Amino acid sequence: MLAVVSWKCDCGMNVKAMYETGGTITKLRCPNSFCKVTHIVDGNIKEIWINDSTGWRSHDWSDLIVSSKDGIKS
């Protein structure tokens, strides 16, 4: 199933991620290249958007993934 999560990073960047649920945990870094904060998404990333002065726009997310692994929920 697809889901969407959004957050505001500590650096102030607004991010939305569409992901597929189901046992994968993806850790990704902030799209702001100067920011070192990482975020955990409870699924497999399908799309990322960032909000800038022009509104929400799609962002290349392949270089943002720090790790992706199967998660076991108890």
pLDDT at 74: 34
Question: Hunting for tokens 């929920």 — which residue is that?
Answer: 73
Q: Where are the domains of the chain?
A: 2-68
d(CA 26, CA 41): 5
Mean pLDDT per 10-residue section of the chain, whose length is 74 residues: 95 96 90 94 94 92 85 44
pLDDT at 10: 96
CB neighbourhood size of 58 (10 A): 10
pLDDT at 67: 83
Question: Hunting for tokens 């904060």 — which residue is that?
Answer: 37
| pTM, two decimal places | 0.82
pLDDT at 71: 54
Show the tokens assigned to 57: 């726009």
